Chains A and B, each alone.
Chain A
């Protein structure tokens, strides 16, 4: 068994258990949380290096051979996602040292955070579709707890919608798993890929594929299914919003990428080019239009999560190597940028005590550094050249041009423009305009914890710059990932062993 695959799940889970045991000692919890964040990041780096050197890694739990036991698989996509999970986990662990109130910490913030990270890492690494359901639920239960931490009215209202829609999606997921098992008689993803094959398939497989698409679409907040997200993501404390915004929807996107590149590739014209494409285009458009109508920082950012998910979906929908590479690049760029933007909105809140744009102002004078740090991820989200978002959008749009998907290209460009509009809106209102007279005076200049606040923000902004300036290496990485995703035989061989060695009944 390869220890590199197990560590990213084991470390946060252990940290969750230990912080739970240290319920009374908040300082111990904080140190454990930092330690676990660092450990998760190191484990992610180790796994990434291993996968990069040795190709796809597989671990059989309890030494049960592939189609029968639970398998953990790490290919490049999983490794990248786990690595980014580590980055987000550590940043949020540092940031929450300064922002989490004692009340929140006393009600189990750290255990829930780490159990959620364990669920996320598990979902990225599993190679078994029922096991994916289990990891989803672990992640969800912890996120439910985080969502209502503090128990304010807005949180309760948001949580009712969040919980309902996610449980509905889980039930659909379970239904689809049941039908799939009834049809194929296996739940191992690689084995499913073999059994379903790429030949002509009866309608039942397409129906199951659509059920999976709806189930994952709800979790990824794709077009007709995203309304729970802007209703709930701005309600919890900002460190929690940040980790949700960065990771949780991306788990849904990851599941779509995995399932629709490995298992359901029988009817690409229908499932990918028509349905996923339409879903992606409308997701981009509705998300950005919703954002343009909002005047509250975190609501704008929430709607932008939706809009950016659309780019990832059209990357998968085009289903060419370049498009998938664009989508993968988009995922890791977006996790870093979006987490960073939410963290910055939290700093803005510390200065003003409000998220409403009409009550903000004058931040550029007060803290030019914060303004600079905001500009990097904001312009990256909009897709301004030297930053990471430009290369992500460029790759997806170029793939669209090469495929002649003109509708998608036109809308993607328009959405980029509208994204720029709402980012400039935040900039102009919160940073540039003078402080409104009725607003409370700025505070927080002598905040004793400000280094803890600025450190993760600066590091994440630095990563955005690095991805942008060293884009060639990252695009190459994304291309390698796309190559792996589009040749499922590599994945299947790694899990089940080479074709000759498979003893099939």
Chain B
């Protein structure tokens, strides 16, 4: 399962960077979305993948004896998903406004503040 995950995560990072390097700001935001999901999957697999084992210790046991999933990566990802969801919602509204104000979705049209 780790191998599959490695391919998927690598593919997502590559896709995200490719999309972000395009000139369209819509593709830029799609790239950012994919990038944050790639990072979340990376945390999940770096924390160790376990199949079918809940992050629970049975009542009668003092310490862990069976395999169990690490609850922390899931908690981290949940937090990260909530944050990235909010930030991306902002980014979508931003590009919409930017499109209205600038009248183009091409990054090459947005150079007046560069120096």
- Which chain B residues in 16-75 approach chain A with CB under 8 Å? 20, 25, 28, 32, 35-36, 38-40, 42-43, 45-48, 72-73
Interface size class of B (residues with CB under 8 A): 35 or more
Taking a contact as CB atoms under 8 Å apart, the answer to whether A182 and B114 are in contact is no
B contact residues around A130 at 8 Å (CB): 76, 79
A contact residues around B45 at 8 Å (CB): 182
B-contacting 9-mer, from A4-12, A22-30, A149-157, A381-389: A149-157
The verdict on B101 contacting chain A, using a C-beta distance below 8 Å, is yes
The verdict on A356 contacting chain B, using a C-beta distance below 8 Å, is no
Closest partner residue, chain B, to A158 (CB atom): B113
Given A141-B86, A157-B110, are A178 and B94 also a contact pair (CB < 8 Å)?
no
In the complex the two chains form, what is the Cα distance from A117 to B28 in whole Å?
A: 29
Taking a contact as CB atoms under 8 Å apart, the answer to whether B112 and A137 are in contact is no
The verdict on A231 contacting chain B, using a C-beta distance below 8 Å, is yes
B-contacting 9-mer, from A159-167, A258-266, A275-283, A460-468: A159-167
A contact residues around B36 at 8 Å (CB): 167, 170-171, 174
Taking a contact as CB atoms under 8 Å apart, the answer to whether B112 and A160 are in contact is no
Taking a contact as CB atoms under 8 Å apart, the answer to whether A178 and B39 are in contact is yes
In the complex the two chains form, what is the Cα distance from A230 to B111 in whole Å?
A: 12
Taking a contact as CB atoms under 8 Å apart, the answer to whether A134 and B83 are in contact is yes
Taking a contact as CB atoms under 8 Å apart, the answer to whether A163 and B91 are in contact is yes
Given A157-B112, A234-B113, are A151 and B48 also a contact pair (CB < 8 Å)?
no
Taking a contact as CB atoms under 8 Å apart, the answer to whether B87 and A231 are in contact is no
Q: Which of A158, A178, A232, A290 contacts B43 (CB 8 A)?
A: A178
A contact residues around B94 at 8 Å (CB): 144, 148, 156, 159-160, 163
A238 to chain B, nearest CB (A): 16
Taking a contact as CB atoms under 8 Å apart, the answer to whether B76 and A181 are in contact is yes
The verdict on A179 contacting chain B, using a C-beta distance below 8 Å, is yes
The verdict on A177 contacting chain B, using a C-beta distance below 8 Å, is yes
B contact residues around A50 at 8 Å (CB): none
The verdict on A140 contacting chain B, using a C-beta distance below 8 Å, is yes
A contact residues around B73 at 8 Å (CB): 178, 181
The verdict on A235 contacting chain B, using a C-beta distance below 8 Å, is yes
The verdict on A175 contacting chain B, using a C-beta distance below 8 Å, is yes
The verdict on B14 contacting chain A, using a C-beta distance below 8 Å, is no
The verdict on B98 contacting chain A, using a C-beta distance below 8 Å, is yes
The verdict on B8 contacting chain A, using a C-beta distance below 8 Å, is no
A186 to chain B, nearest CB (A): 9
Taking a contact as CB atoms under 8 Å apart, the answer to whether A171 and B39 are in contact is yes
Given A130-B76, A160-B110, are A174 and B39 also a contact pair (CB < 8 Å)?
yes
B27 to chain A, nearest CB (A): 12
B contact residues around A152 at 8 Å (CB): 101
In the complex the two chains form, what is the Cα distance from A163 to B112 in whole Å?
A: 17
The verdict on B102 contacting chain A, using a C-beta distance below 8 Å, is yes
Taking a contact as CB atoms under 8 Å apart, the answer to whether A178 and B42 are in contact is yes
Given A148-B97, A163-B94, A175-B42, are A153 and B115 also a contact pair (CB < 8 Å)?
no
Taking a contact as CB atoms under 8 Å apart, the answer to whether B42 and A231 are in contact is no
A contact residues around B107 at 8 Å (CB): 160
A67 to chain B, nearest CB (A): 11
In the complex the two chains form, what is the Cα distance from A354 to B4 in whole Å?
A: 58
Given A159-B94, A171-B36, are A141 and B87 also a contact pair (CB < 8 Å)?
yes
A contact residues around B79 at 8 Å (CB): 130, 134
B46 to chain A, nearest CB (A): 3
B contact residues around A179 at 8 Å (CB): 42, 46
Closest partner residue, chain B, to A172 (CB atom): B39
A contact residues around B83 at 8 Å (CB): 134, 137
Taking a contact as CB atoms under 8 Å apart, the answer to whether B46 and A154 are in contact is no
The verdict on A299 contacting chain B, using a C-beta distance below 8 Å, is yes
The verdict on A168 contacting chain B, using a C-beta distance below 8 Å, is yes
In the complex the two chains form, what is the Cα distance from A273 to B38 in whole Å?
A: 32
Taking a contact as CB atoms under 8 Å apart, the answer to whether A171 and B35 are in contact is yes
In the complex the two chains form, what is the Cα distance from A182 to B28 in whole Å?
A: 29
Taking a contact as CB atoms under 8 Å apart, the answer to whether B43 and A174 are in contact is yes
A contact residues around B46 at 8 Å (CB): 178-179, 181-183
B17 to chain A, nearest CB (A): 9
Closest partner residue, chain A, to B90 (CB atom): A144
B48 to chain A, nearest CB (A): 7
Taking a contact as CB atoms under 8 Å apart, the answer to whether B48 and A182 are in contact is yes
Q: Which of B25, B91, B114 contacts A231 (CB 8 A)?
A: B114
Q: Which of B20, B86, B102 contacts A156 (CB 8 A)?
A: B102
Scoring A residues 387 to 418 as 1 if CB is less than 8 Å from chain B, else 0, what string do you get?
00000000000000000000000000000000
Closest partner residue, chain B, to A234 (CB atom): B113
Closest partner residue, chain A, to B79 (CB atom): A134
A contact residues around B115 at 8 Å (CB): 230-231, 290, 293-294, 299
- Which chain A residues in 287-325 approach chain B with CB under 8 Å? 290, 293-294, 299
B32 to chain A, nearest CB (A): 5
A contact residues around B111 at 8 Å (CB): 157
New contact pairs (12) apart from A161-B113, A234-B113, CB-CB < 8 Å: A134-B79, A144-B90, A145-B90, A151-B101, A154-B113, A157-B98, A157-B112, A164-B20, A168-B35, A170-B87, A181-B43, A294-B115
3 A-B pairs with least C-beta separation: A182-B46, A178-B43, A174-B39
Residues of B within 8 A of A (CB): 20, 25, 28, 32, 35-36, 38-40, 42-43, 45-48, 72-73, 76, 79-80, 83, 86-87, 90-91, 94-95, 97-98, 101-102, 107, 110-115
Residues of A within 8 A of B (CB): 130, 133-134, 137, 140-141, 144-145, 148, 151-154, 156-161, 163-164, 167-168, 170-171, 174-175, 177-179, 181-183, 187, 227, 230-232, 234-235, 290, 293-294, 299
Q: List 6 A-B contacts (CB under 8 A).
A: A154-B113, A160-B110, A163-B94, A181-B76, A187-B72, A230-B115
